[in-house]
Chain A
Amino acid sequence: MAAKRGYVRPLDLKRGRVDMNHGAGGRAAMQLIDEVFVRAFDNEFLRQGNDGASLPVPPELLQGGRLVMACDGHVVSPLFFAGGDLGCLAVHGTVNDVAMLGARPLWLAASFILEEGFALADLKRLVDSMAAAAREAGVAVVTGDTKVVEQGKGDGCFIATTGVGVVARGVDVGGANARPGDVLLLSGPIGEHGVAVLSTRESLEFETEVRSDTAALHGLVATMLAAAPAGAVHVLRDPTRGGLGTTLNEIARQSGVGMLIEEATIPVQPQVEAACELLGLDVLYIANEGKLVAAVAPEAGAAVLAAMRAHPCGAQAAQIGRVVADEHRFVQMDTRFGGRRIVDWLSGEPLPRIC
């Protein structure tokens, strides 16, 4: 009996592993792309099967808007953690970078560096998660690339994403726009992502119910921009690595201003506080993946805050302080205790204290 023409044995997604052939650009590579990536991301651009995507001009651009592009590498370990995984983290991270410029995110490109031996089941899980996150966020993964490195030269899977979005005419949001008098608004409790990931690190083993807060924030951003008069939202930034403390310092430096925040107004979950207390970590420097901080013109502060609280991603939004004039660009904080300290840049990695 003649073998059926054109039959290709499907990938063993349950027990198979990535091998060097999958990165070689030949049939095996094509199969991986078709059966894992294209199948999950499934859109008109990918279906064309080209190495790049040919994209239409978004309407805002025709009306005098601008293009926005952002790029992120994702190397978190472990790949799967309470509340998320590397896949959805990659989507949220880049969608958020684009959104922080006041833009509507449209398309993503994703590059995968896979380590030889990486389980296909894990890859499928990550890619499916990415696809779900992208669909939920209303963006399409329109092009991508896959490479395989030898065993030992990669941590299982690294993902790099580039995002493209469009910002409407008249919207100018950027780190250098903070002005003395602006109110500082934070969209919700801090420290969740960092604590969730830390709790899985072997050496720090602890049980906690804290889940990563990874989320796409462009919907929240759109609501905020709509609630304020044009130009009232000056700065938007998501406090990822380095936490809120680092992000506030970045903005202060870029804008040439100082800040005064009140510790008592910063929302933190009791479980996150307990974890930081036990490990000797300062929650101000712990990563967040589903929060943003905004500097807004004072007259628009109340309206923007109300809009944030009405949105699922901003239910616990709070005003945490103000931008002030300060040649030293210090971020100062009035502590719950009643004293004052500065919240400095993070030095090196946040290491648990011993004394």
Chain B
Amino acid sequence: MRKAISIALTPDVALGDYVIVHVGHAIGTLDAEEAAATLALFAELAASGAAAGGGVA
């Protein structure tokens, strides 16, 4: 789906970038590398957690 939003607050944004939208404005861009790093970290933590045999109380 498509919606028109303002990029007045993210003037350096480029076509294809992912942005975070709030009340009709893009307020920041998403750093794809950092996103990937965060997801990798989740996976690592989750795996080590599962290995620790911890069930949720």
The answer to whether A and B touch directly, with their CB atoms under 8 angstroms apart, is yes
A contact patch SS? loop
A278, B1: Cβ atoms closer than 8 Å: yes
Docked Cα-Cα span, A56 to B17, in Å, equals 66
B30 to chain A, nearest CB (A): 15
Q: Chain B contact residues (Cβ within 8 angstroms of A): what range?
A: under 10
* B1-28, CB < 8 A from A: 1-4, 21, 23
- Residues in A with CB closer than 8 Å to B4 are 205
A278-B23 contact, Cβ under 8 Å, with A206-B3, A207-B1: no
Q: Flag whether A351 is at the interface (Cβ < 8 A).
A: no
Residues from chain A with a CB closer than 8 A to the CB of B2 are 206-208
Residue of B nearest to A338 (CB): B56
Partner of A354, one of B1, B21, B23: B23
What sequence of 0s and 1s flags, for each residue 270-284 of chain A, a beta carbon within 8 Å of any chain B beta carbon?
Answer: 010011001000000
* Cβ contacts under 8 Å, A150 to chain B: none
Q: How many A-B residue pairs have CB under 8 A?
A: 19
Residue of B nearest to A279 (CB): B3
Bound together, the chains give a CA A117 to CA B48 distance in angstroms of 70
Closest to B21 in A: A278
Decide yes or no whether A209 CB sits under 8 A from chain B. yes
The answer for the CA separation of A208 and B1 in the assembled complex, in Å, is 5
Which residues on B sit within 8 Å (CB–CB) of A210? 1
B residues less than 8 Å from A208 (CB atoms) = 1-2
With the chains together, A227 CA to B31 CA distance in Å?
Answer: 54
Residues on B with C-beta less than 8 A from A207 are 1-3
Chain B residues positioned under 8 Å from A206 (CB to CB): 1-3
Q: How far is the CA of A354 from the CA of B23 in the complex (A)?
A: 6
Q: For A271, list chain B residues within 8 Å (CB).
A: 1
Chain A residues with CB below 8 A from B1, complex form: 206-210, 271, 274-275, 278
Q: Residue among B3, B4, B23 with the most chain A CB within 10 A?
A: B3
A-B contact pairs, 17 of them (CB 8 A): A205-B3, A205-B4, A206-B1, A206-B3, A207-B1, A207-B3, A208-B1, A208-B2, A209-B1, A210-B1, A271-B1, A274-B1, A275-B1, A278-B1, A278-B3, A278-B21, A354-B23
> 9 new A-B pairs (CB below 8 Å) besides A206-B2, A274-B1?
A205-B4, A206-B1, A207-B1, A207-B3, A208-B1, A271-B1, A275-B1, A278-B3, A354-B23
